[in-house]
Amino acid sequence: MAEILGAITVSHVPSIGGAIARGLQNDPYWKPFFDGFPPVRDWLARVRPDVAVVVYNDHGLNFFLDKMPTFAVGAAPEYRNADEGWGIPVVPPFRGDPALSWHLIESLVDEEFDPVTCQEMTVDHAFTLPMALFWPDMQWPVRTVPVVVNTVQAPLPSAARCYRLGQAIGRAIASWPGRERVVVIGTGGLSHQLDGERAGFINKDFDLRFIDSLMNDPAWATKYSTAELVELAGTQGVELLNWLVARGTLPAKVRQRHVNYHIPVSNTASGLLLLEPA
């Protein structure tokens, strides 16, 4: 059967792409952020995953406010990036894994999740920037399965439902008859708000408590409603739902291999966490 090697959760701020393009990794502003990634790259080079299941939220490149699914799964042979208007260079296409994608979709439907199935799909910075941070040569040594979670427009899925979605994805991967080695990537957050009276809001105490909970009490955040999470983490900080999905794919007991937290990146609290099954 397939094996989940670990889960990586990471921020996906668009300005990261600009910093990569301009070679600012050692700039004093950016260095504390980029210095967090070599241990994760070393781990990936050592464990050599075959597939990356990437849990993220689309920002309008593939879905927009007129059509916003709660959950969607890519089932395409290839996923391409496109210009989003941020000035981020377009990256090479990503290989898909249609067979594993369809198994995942069918397994989720069997567990009474109803994802939108995407046989064509464009991926945005929430997908591409984490991949570029983990594999900076952009050669993409893994096949990919995109999983989109609505963190953009009400009604959002609850934290509890997102955690259960992750558990269902974990069971689906475990039941796949192949021997693929899988890494699950959850992208977004942490606390930030881009608009309104609280623009620039960052809640460090909540961020650190949330990161710790993923290690020691993964259901902790599920006690909060969506409105409470927005209050605690900001309107866009609710992207932490993607982190909960990724954490749900792992067993209850995990090992923390690496963690990094840095503020600010743009006006966002950035986090990076690598967990393995214990």
Please state whether the peptide bond connecting residue 190 to the residue before it is cis, i.e. omega within 30 degrees of 0. Answer: yes
Q: Which one, of 233, 147, 230, lies nearest residue 187 by Cα? A: 147
**SS3 label, residue 63:** coil
Active site residue 12: no
Q: Are strands 3-10 and 181-187 parallel, antiparallel or unpaired?
A: parallel
Cβ-proximal residues to 205 (8 Å cutoff; 6+ apart), any chain: none
CA angle 129/134/139 to nearest 5° reads 85
Instruction: Work out whether the CA dihedral 11, 16, 20, 25 comes out positive or negative.
Output: negative
- Residue tagged active-site, from 59, 103, 125, 262: 125
- Residue tagged active-site, from 59, 192, 258, 262: 192
Active site residue 103: no
Q: What is the C-alpha to C-alpha distance for residues 172 and 14, in angstroms, rounded to an integer?
A: 31
Q: Which residues are catalytic?
A: 125, 192
